[in-house]
Amino acid sequence: MVRNELISEIANRILSLKLPHPIRVGVSGITASGKTTFANELMEELRVRNMEVVRTSIDNFHHPRVVRYRQGKESAIGYYEDAHDYNSFKQKLLIPLGPGGDLHYQTISFDLDKDEFVNTESKVAKRDSIFIIDGTFLFKKDLSNLYDYKIFVDTDFELARKRGAKREEGNFGSYEKAEKMFINRYHAASKLYIEQHLPQLKADVVINNDDLDNPYFV
């Protein structure tokens, strides 16, 4: 399926939802599956249709470095368990936007580069706005019911590893080192997520993203 046609169809499905609060769209997938790009494209499509869209990520809700790496910088369990501050993610973003929420939200709690917490002033969401949130572990069991529409971007592990290693080779010093990190940490953690939380089964739609120009509904 041509990519822009698929994006347009997803936008149609989201806009068909009639809710008394903002629509919380979660876009999940293994690391380097293409979920961030997909979420950005979906945002653009909805904005072209004059919708109020807020774009953010669970990666704005990290734990401090001392917590993230307490099980080792290459630890898959450490990435899976310690990378993100799920309590802040829920309390500052997801819950206020949902049923009975007060609409006061924050899109960030932690500055990853400075390794420090961020106390930003809360914003007030419009009830007809759409929040598009991406992240690897979005559909863990205690989070999955806090979205109104869930998208899982399904990509072959080998393809994702190659894309991710190429993207991150500058950060790790070489393609080989980046690939090793994907194998040992990021994708090992992603496999735990898929095995333990079955995110594809929780999603409203699963998209195969192996061919970037021609993704398709699974």
Helices (H), the chain: 3-15, 35-48, 65-68, 76-82, 86-89, 95-97, 157-172, 175-181, 187-197, 199-202
Separation between Cα atoms, residue 78 and residue 68, nearest integer Å: 7
Residues in the chain where the model's pLDDT stays below 70: none
pLDDT of amino acid 41: 98
Residue written as token pair 């979660």 = 26
User: What's the CA angle centered on 167, arms 160 and 176, to 5 degrees?
Assistant: 80
Q: What pTM, to 2 d.p., does this model score? A: 0.96
SS3 for 92?
helix
**What is the token pair recorded at 196?**
């333990």
Neighbours of 160 (CB within 10 A): 24
Q: Chain centroid to CA 114: how far? A: 22
pLDDT of amino acid 119: 87
Please report, for the chain, how many H helices and E strands are present, in that order.
10, 10
**What is the token pair recorded at 145?**
């019911």
pLDDT in tens, 57-103: 999 999 999 999 999 999 999 999 999 999 999 999 999 999 999 99
Exposure of 154 in the CB half-sphere (CA atoms within 13 A): 15
Separation between Cα atoms, residue 67 and residue 82, nearest integer Å: 6
